[in-house]
Amino acid sequence: MAQPAEPRARARFVRETPDVRRQALIDATARCLAEKGVGGTSVRAICAKAGVSSGLLTHYFPGVDALILATYRDVGARVSTALDAAIAAAGDDPRDRLRACLQANLRPPVLDPDLLATWIAFWSLVTSDPAIAAVHADVYRGTRHQLETLLGEAAPQLSQSQKRIAAISLTALVDGLWLELCLDRSSFTAEEAQAMVESAMLQWLGEIDGPVDKFAAL
């Protein structure tokens, strides 16, 4: 006699949490900005990229402008997390921690042409969107404060003014090298860029002659 067939297991339906859906929209916005720029980043484009309806976007965000703002914060936080991880992995030596922070900007995941495309979209809004400008200022302020702290630990002899100038100088150097490497790696290598940053860092730490001497009286 044939045995009755066992009941088929019912497929489990997994409902995504609000945080997951919100993050999916942010990730889709970052990809749209990188691929299409600000002009091509619309509700339709974002929702198509995320595979959701436009109603879901307006459920979590008032509109595209708010979503772009949230994406800027998210991208900035991801970069900050990568730098923090590099610092933590460097150990306890203050110089190694400072070096790790600077060099992490010139290595993946921060050194990424797609990330550059997203940043360019954000930068294009800084002068016209006060909310974006405020986030930009926060990101830059946080980066500078982190470097000032690391410089103070690595070179306690530096005055507050010297640490400020050193942080601005090193940030500008790193940003310029990062930008060029993302655009075109034929001019110099990531290793050469890291060596340039290392030299500038050692100058500010007073280990070789450099710009710190010009700001000794500050």
Q: Answer whether residue 16 shows pLDDT above 70.
A: no
Tokens representing residue 205 in the block: 């730490």
Mean pLDDT over all residues of the chain?
Answer: 89
Task: Give the end-to-end CA distance of the chain in Å, rounded to a whole number.
Answer: 97
Q: Answer whether residue 85 shows pLDDT above 50.
A: yes
Q: What is the pLDDT of residues 119-172, one digit of tens each?
A: 999 999 999 999 999 999 999 999 999 999 999 999 999 999 999 999 999 999
Q: What is the pLDDT of residues 181-212, one digit of tens each?
A: 999 989 999 999 999 999 999 999 997 655 55
CB 117 within 8 Å of CB 34: yes
Q: Answer whether residue 11 shows pLDDT above 60.
A: no
For position 208, what pLDDT does the model report? 60
For position 18, what pLDDT does the model report? 78
For position 207, what pLDDT does the model report? 76
Please, which pLDDT band fits residue 213 given cuts at 50, 70 and 90? low
Please, which pLDDT band fits residue 4 given cuts at 50, 70 and 90? very low
